Amino acid sequence: MKRGQKLTALRYIAISSILISLYMIFFLAPTDRYLGIVQKIFYIHFASAIIPYLAFLIVFLASAFYLVKKEIFFDRLALASAEIGLMVDTVLLVTGTIFSKPTWGVWWVWEPRLTTSLIMWLLYFGYLMLRSLSEDRLKAKNLAAVYGIVAFVSVPISFMSIRWWRSVHPILITPNKINLDPSMWLVALSTLAAFALLFAYLLNLKMEILLLEEEIAEIKEEMGDTQ
């Protein structure tokens, strides 16, 4: 199977799984007794919370590997993962803001989880700024790799914030149990799986873009040398 065919297959698998998860959210998941239908925002909010953690973990690992091995593949992987992680993190902040109005009565509250999530978003926005604004390409790659490792500190802080500090944000997963009805948990996991497949597709797509850009730049350089 060619690379293009793999990408197309992944595209249709991701779209199908998203359609299945949407069907499960709106037709199979039970309606919450207290929040009513608005609780269904939770499924997309939950999936868009976990994916950036995964994406930024990939940025962290790929940055570390790049610094050790100096292989361009890891730099490409870190950049692609950071951009998609930031996009999904934007979805998290938007859905969270809309969800908090009917549940907490306000659009935004400066409590630990929301504040640390916003800091995480700003840190990875800074990562992309660093990549795009730096003129020295090699220096930018090395600097971004160090930044990608340091910025990862925000991920465990964001995850643990509701456990470490007093927060109005609910704790879904505790060491002893999951605070969610099993039928809702199944739908949440299927939405997460659909988002993971979408993430995999977008990651491959972004990697393809970076690869094509490098290939074009190389050819242009060669053409410049020969002329």
Partner 1 sequence: MNYLLAAYFAAWLIIFLYLTRLEGKVASLKRDLDRIKGGVKGGEE
Instruction: Name the site residues for partner 1 (rule: CB under 8 A).
Output: 37-38, 40-41, 44-45, 48, 87, 90-91, 94-95, 98-99, 101-102, 198, 202, 205-206, 208-209, 212-213, 215-216, 219-220, 223
CB-nearer residue toward partner 1: 101 or 139: 101
**Shortest Å, Cβ 54 to partner 1:** 16
Which CB atom, from 51 or from 149, has the smaller least distance to partner 1? Answer: 51
In the chain, the amino acid numbered 160 is M
Of 150 and 221, CB closest to partner 1? 221
Question: Taking the complex as a whole, how short is the minimal distance between the CB of residue 57 and partner 1, in angstroms?
Answer: 20
State the minimum distance, in angstroms, from the CB of residue 64 to partner 1. Answer: 26
- Please give the angle made by the CA atoms of 55, 49 and 169, to the nearest 5 degrees: 145
Q: How would you class 219 by CB atoms within 10 Å of its CB: exposed for 0-12, middle for 13-18, buried for 19 or more?
A: exposed
d(CA 81, CA 70): 18
How many angstroms separate the Cα of 214 from the Cα of each of 31, 200, 208, 221? 50, 21, 10, 10
Query: In this complex, which beta carbon is closest to partner 1, that of residue 74 or of residue 195?
Result: 195
Nearest-angstrom CA–CA distance, 4 and 9: 9
Q: Give the nearest distance from C-beta 212 to partner 1 in angstroms.
A: 4
